[in-house]
Amino acid sequence: MRLVVTGGAGFIGSNFVRWVLRTQPDVAVTTFDALTYAGNLASLADVADDPRHTFVQGDVRDAAAVARAVDGADAVVHFAAESHVDRSIDAPDAFLSTNVTGAGLVFEACRRAGVERVLHVSTDEVYGPITTGAFAEADRLQPSSPYAASKAGADLLAQAYTTTYDFPILVTRTTNNFGAYQHPEKLIPRFVTNLLNGEDLPVYGDGAQIRDWTAVDDNVRAHWLVLTEGEPGTVYNIGAGNERTSLDIAHAIVAALDADPDRITHVTDRPGHDRRYAVDTARIRALGWRPERTFDDALADTIAWYRDNEAWWRPLRDVSG
């Protein structure tokens, strides 16, 4: 199989690329990434010399570049996206152009090239908040942030390609991921690197926002399963059932690093901050997927990785603050 991974130098994308090269000996991978602030070739350093891996720098908003990248591909996994909610609130333009227009250009290039399997990676945030219970894949989309709305737009484009062109695109909607190689703007690496930097942990509002946390290595296994065995044109929720509040996460990291709990500070909540996300994962579990990592073990490994890999995250913090 010749596989193209857009956004493969990002957090989940790079973990996916490494996992595929490690576990699927008959797959050759082309990573297509624009190398924005969130794309980092250092995240692919350990596969740089793998003869089955090729890196191509390119932007999903460049139709000609996308067409060249997917030409001859058997499968495409579309990770490339602007993904930080706070940035989408401050400057939504890049989210609209990358997450909606970029996704559409990827889908169209794949259709024209006759790619057999296309997976679009989305987010549970497209459903919006839920007080109790969990969203199933057929539930309505009611995104709260420009980021979530842009991802919902791409999901609807994927659906339209199935309906209009009979070009079925698989979609995964994932809960919060964590693990190695995640940009330090995100909650868990931000808290860990803040403590390692001697800084406080800024918790939004009362810190009672609930998220389901999935270890990234479990997540990438789910994506591969959906890509290879999922029903084309179908949406699959992915989540490990590890519901934690932001304050829970802060206290767990403080304890793991033997830091002073007074380092946890509360800051003004961000606009439109959803209180809880939760998804029903019966469909992906019916394919045979189960999370293998416990939250506590995966968090411990994540903290250890950031403690041992300052050379990876320090330049990113120096640039983004």
The token pair at 285 is: 């579990």
Q: 121 with 172: CB under 8 angstroms?
A: yes
The token pair at 93 is: 């333009």
Q: Which of 33, 59, 82, 124 is catalytic?
A: 124
Q: Which of 125, 155, 185, 218 is catalytic?
A: 125
Residue 299 identity:
L
Residue 256 identity:
A
Buried b (16+ CB within 10 A) or exposed e, 200-214: bbbbbeebebbbbbb
Q: Which of 59, 127, 137, 147 is catalytic?
A: 147
Contacts of 103 (CB under 8 A, 6+ apart): 60, 78, 81, 120, 153, 154, 157, 158
Residue 41 identity:
L
Q: Quick one: DSSP state of residue 74?
A: S
Residue 296 identity:
D
Residue 306 annotated as catalytic: no
Using alpha carbons, select from 186, 201, 230, 198 the residue that is nearest to residue 77.
230
Residue 147 annotated as catalytic: yes
Q: What 3-state DSSP class applies to 121?
A: strand
CA distance 173 to 235: 7
Question: Cα Rg for the chain, rounded, in angstroms?
Answer: 19
Residue 37 annotated as catalytic: no
CA distance 245 to 160: 36
For 264-293, the DSSP string reads: EEEEPPPTT--SB--B--HHHHHTT----S
Distance (Å) of CA 246 to CA 84, 113, 188, 269: 16, 43, 9, 12
Catalytic annotation, residues: 124-125, 147
